[in-house]
Amino acid sequence: MFGTKKDDIEPVAEVPLTGGVLGRDQILSARDALTDYVDVPEWGGRVKIRSLSGTERDAFEAGIAGNGKKLRLENIRAKLVAKCAINEQGQQLFSTADTAALGRKNAAVLDRVFQACQKLSGITDEDVDELLGE
């Protein structure tokens, strides 16, 4: 549906195992947020994006799930890009109020950034199918 399949998702970096089973504190203190850059020559540069946390992804999916099996896909690309786009200091570039304006950008360009956000956050077409109950 959106162009990202589970097979398309590759680990960003291989981290060597340092031993044993992880404890609570090790897991909770691990710095596992990912960032990347998307070249956007149409906008005059590149966009820095970040992965969603588990809580943010759940909220994003809940926001599009709607009632029953109908997903609310209106402006979905802009909504995800708005959540993932950050400045060099890691602060979110767009507010929820910016999504309508962001959605008016060139669809192909916005989709390129959207797909990068999907990939970085592990959101696949199979996940969307699951939301639909398929």
Q: Any long-range contacts for 6-12 (C-beta under 8 Å, 24+ apart)? A: 6/124, 6/126, 8/119, 8/124, 9/119, 9/122, 9/124, 12/36, 12/120
| Backbone angles phi and psi of 48, in degrees to 5 | -90, 130
pLDDT at 113: 98
pTM beyond 0.75: the answer is yes
CB atoms inside a 10 Å sphere around CB 114: 24
What gap in Å lies between CA 55 and CA 58, rounded to an integer?
Answer: 5
pLDDT at 73: 83
Helices (H), 2-124: 24-29, 54-65, 76-84, 99-103, 107-121
In 3-state terms, what secondary structure has residue 45? strand
Residue of 124, 122, 118 whose CA lies nearest to 49: 118
Query: 65-102, pLDDT tens digit by residue?
Result: 766 667 788 899 999 999 999 999 999 999 999 999 99
Query: 17-39, pLDDT tens digit by residue?
Result: 677 889 999 999 999 999 999 99
b/e string for 76-87 if b means 16 or more Cβ within 10 A? bbbbbbbbbbbe
Domains and CATH numbers, the chain: 39-132 (3.30.2220.20)
pLDDT at 4: 61
- The residues with which 48 forms a beta bridge, in sequence order, are 37, 86
